[in-house]
Amino acid sequence: MKFSFRWYGPSDPIPLGYIRQIPNMTGIVSAIYSVPVGELWPEKDIQSLKSDVEAHGMHFEVVESVPVHEDIKLGKATRSKYIENYKENIRRLAQVGVKTICYNFMPVFDWTRTDLNFINEDSSSSLALDLKEITSLDPLTEDFSLPGWDESYSKHELKALFEAYQSVTEDDLWENLGYFLNEIIPVAEEVGINMAIHPDDPPYPIFGLPRIITDNAAFQRLFELNPSSANGVTFCTGSLGARNDNDIYAMLEDYLKKGKVHFMHTRNILLHADNSFEETAHMSKYGSVDMVKVFSLLKQYHYNGYVRPDHGRMIWGENGRPGYGLYDRALGASYLNGIWEALHY
Ligand code: DNO
């Protein structure tokens, strides 16, 4: 198992040299963030990212994410250009030694929370999602504001996207995902890259937009769409754990058996009865995810892929990118390494 850490490139306030000092941290997970969704990633930018990471004694083998253009999710005629660009990005990344690409197929919004600064008992802060609050929000109203997303779209863009999705059903989204996979998976296979879809976060439809990568039935359908082992998953314990009816251990075991897990996001959440949640420290006792159980399964099935601590709380006065500070993620990494070491004793 290869431990890795997400880094947002040169604009990330956390220096690579600090990440290297986390015990057993061998890899960086990153992306080219300066290129608009759907465009080609310049080879020189990819190369310089790799060189930066390697100059700090770590490897660059996982990209999170190569985002999927909305026209592909919408199944528009214009998707062909974006699919061709996607294929070329896969080839370019393979050329510098990338082995796994994480992506998602969520319409309009990626992960969503209602609070980026939920104050915990110990005065640390976390990301949180309150189901009542999210269901009361209407993205098309003037005063709509969604933490983390306020600068991503203009009102006009948001309105146009919502209109475009109005006629897109869950089945349409599946069809568009199938089309995309059947185009890109052969390229990924050819160049030795594993594609790892990230579950929807939260794992149910929001704002009337369809969301499909949500539960076990969805993953089985995904595997049927394209049986290649390159068509795999990022198993995110926090995202999949945000539904009381998801048995994440049974799901993980099945996908490990099938050789479909290429990347693990291991974070914890405290899940409430209505599927609202707060993100917690990684340790099992603080949340609803049993990390020892998760890592025992990884050991049992000889998981040899990538893992990363996921969102951390803000602690020790750190002021960072929500969910992606240094301190609590480093604590998470050490804790997970401790479990892994103990399991091999
Ligand atoms: C949140 C992340 C997601 C993830 C994408 C993958 O912190 O786990 O934003 O990177 O969904 O495409």
pLDDT bin (cut points 50, 70, 90) of residue 7 is: very high
We report the CATH number of the domain holding residue 334 as: 3.20.20.150
Could you tell me the pTM of the whole model?
A: 0.97
Rounded to whole angstroms, how far apart are CA atoms 314 and 136?
Answer: 27
Rounded to whole angstroms, how far apart are CA atoms 268 and 286?
Answer: 8
* Token couple for 163: 């209109």
Is 150 a residue whose pLDDT tops 90?
no
pLDDT of residue 181: 98
Residue 253 identity (one-letter amino acid): E
E strands present in 91-225: 100-103, 115-119, 125-129, 194-197
Question: Over the stretch 305-319, which tens digit does the pLDDT of each residue have?
Answer: 999 999 999 999 999
Between helices 248-257 and 216-225, what is the axis angle to 10°?
Answer: 20
Active site residue 344: no
**What is the pairing mode between strands 269-271 and 277-279?**
antiparallel
Active site residue 236: yes
Nearest CA to ligand 1 atom 2: 111
| Ligand 1 centroid, distance to 202 Cα (angstroms) | 11
8 A C-beta contact, residue 67 and residue 103: yes
**What is the pairing mode between strands 231-236 and 261-266?**
parallel
Rounded to whole angstroms, how far apart are CA atoms 178 and 279?
Answer: 32
322 lines ligand 1 (CB under 6 A): no
Cβ-based burial of 63 (10 A; exposed 0-12, middle 13-18, buried ≥19): buried
Total domain count, the chain = 1
Question: Over the stretch 228-279, which tens digit does the pLDDT of each residue have?
Answer: 999 999 999 999 999 999 999 999 999 999 999 999 999 999 999 999 999 9
Sign of CA dihedral 44, 322, 291, 133: negative
Residue with tokens 């993980």: 252
263 lines ligand 1 (CB under 6 A): no
Give the residue-averaged pLDDT of 30-59.
97
Atom of ligand 1 nearest to the CA of 201: 11
3-state secondary structure of 155: helix
Least confident of 16-30, 152-166, 217-231, 269-283: 152-166
Residue of 111, 214, 265, 266 best suited for mutating to test ligand 1, as the one with most atoms within 8 Å of CB: 111
Torsion angles phi and psi, residue 59, rounded to 5: -105, 155
| Ligand 1 centroid, distance to 110 Cα (angstroms) | 7
- % of the chain residues with pLDDT over 70: 100
Domain span at residue 306?
Answer: 2-344
pLDDT bin (cut points 50, 70, 90) of residue 141 is: confident
| Ligand 1 centroid, distance to 345 Cα (angstroms) | 33
- % of the chain residues with pLDDT over 90: 92
Atom of ligand 1 nearest to the CA of 234: 6
The DSSP annotation for 158-201 comes to HHHHHHHHTT--HHHHHHHHHHHHHHHHHHHHHHT-EEEEPPPS
| Ligand 1 centroid, distance to 104 Cα (angstroms) | 7
Rounded to whole angstroms, how far apart are CA atoms 25 and 319?
Answer: 22
